[in-house]
A = this chain, B = another copy of it.
Amino acid sequence: MRVLILGGDGYLGWPTAMAFSKKIYDVMVVDNYLRRDLSRKHDVEPLWSVPNLLERVRIWQELAGQTIHARIGDCCEYPFLSAIFKEFQPEVVIHYAEQPSAPYSMLNHESARITLNNNLQSTLNIAWAIHEHVPDCHIVKLGTMGVYGTPNIDIEEGWIDIEHKGRKDRFLFPRQASSLYHTTKIQDTDMLWFYTRTWGLRVTDLQQGPVYGLETNETVLDERLGTIFNYDELFGTVINRFVVQAIAGHPLTVYGKGGQTRGYINIKDTIACVELAMLNPSAAGELNIYNQVTETFSVNQLAERVVKVGNERGHAAQIKSIENPRVEKEEHYYNPTYSGLKDLGLEPHYLTDEVLNRMFEVVEKYQHDIQQHKIFRGIKW
């Protein structure tokens, strides 16, 4: 199977590429280094540096004996992207090529503009390139659970049947997000759903919760194959950041009351979910949506779990509630459905103490590289 991974240099993209290459899928990765450029521009580089994408591919070839094709360029440039679809003729495209940070999208007008344009233009271009060159190609798009916000009703997997004044219809589940980034993930779904109905595209939308973890079966093969690991407020995700904070002696930054509840997922499960989605393609004209999480926690629960493990390992970790820089509910109803991917065969890796201990173990090796000033700057909504 020919698999095109857009955003193949990222936190999820590169581990996905290696995992799929190992399974003898024919993999091509594309990236424009946006995430790396923004990390450098905003002085929040990852905890360890990683080789460039072409170098990563060479190292992989050397160690695993498999070829991953790589192209450096911008998915927002249609001639570039269109030529790749024409040349590679992918059977499935994994769309990770969006600006993935909520705080970055709220930083200033320029960051909002970049987020909006990048996320929608890349998605538009994918729809068009498929329509023009490979109409049967299946799109697996990474979305986010954040599109749903925190509604007072149970969150279904993407769709809801509504009965209203005695009549019925089925609609996309109502979405109301809490950052511009998350809003672009509402917008890209609406756009793909339009082209899906109109052109008969095949689309799977994975509404993923915050991912945690540093290692996959492939990253551990060699230090140089590690994934990008941000621990800052812009590009770090919450569990990863809490582990770093605990080790660095920085209070764990709980925003407000800490009752904010979300669904979470281990990076190993992300890769498994994307593969399951890929192996169960949507029919032509069909948009399947899965909620890609394996368990839910409040921020307080996460902080307590991390502090406990941190303390056991000799770190003087503690929690500090700070004024919430975001506009969000700190106490709310939250009951998402997430059975679809398990029904397809997902066997979750849960957030056990063992998993947390292994995360601590890895980060502790880089303890002296942690820069305090990167951890928190209080980007306001």
Contacts and interface: CB of A to CB of B under 8 A. Distances in A.
Interface string A333-349: 10000000000000000
Q: How many copies does the complex hold?
A: 2
Interface string A154-197: 10000010111101110110111111100100110011011101
Contact of A174 (B116, B171, B191): B171
Contacts of A151: 169, 171
Contacts of A78: 109, 113
A52 interface: no
B174 A172 contact: yes
Given A78-B109, A160-B164, A190-B187, A121 B128 contact: no
Interface string A108-148: 01001100110011001100100010000000000000000
B194 A169 contact: no
A255 B162 CA distance: 30
A110 B176 CA distance: 30
A197 B152 CA distance: 17
Contact of A167 (B112, B116, B333): B333
Interface string A21-55: 00000000000000000000000000000000000
Interface residues of A, number: 46
A125 B110 CA distance: 10
Contacts of A217: none
Contacts of A172: 174, 176
A151 B162 CA distance: 11
Nearest to A154: B165
B167 A152 contact: yes
Given A197-B327, A198-B327, A186 B190 contact: yes
A381 interface: yes
A128 B116 contact: no
15 contacts: A109-B125, A109-B128, A113-B124, A116-B120, A116-B124, A117-B121, A151-B171, A162-B162, A167-B333, A169-B174, A172-B176, A178-B198, A183-B190, A187-B190, A198-B327
Given A116-B191, A153-B169, A175-B190, 9 more contacts: A78-B113, A109-B128, A172-B176, A176-B193, A177-B194, A179-B194, A183-B191, A190-B190, A198-B327
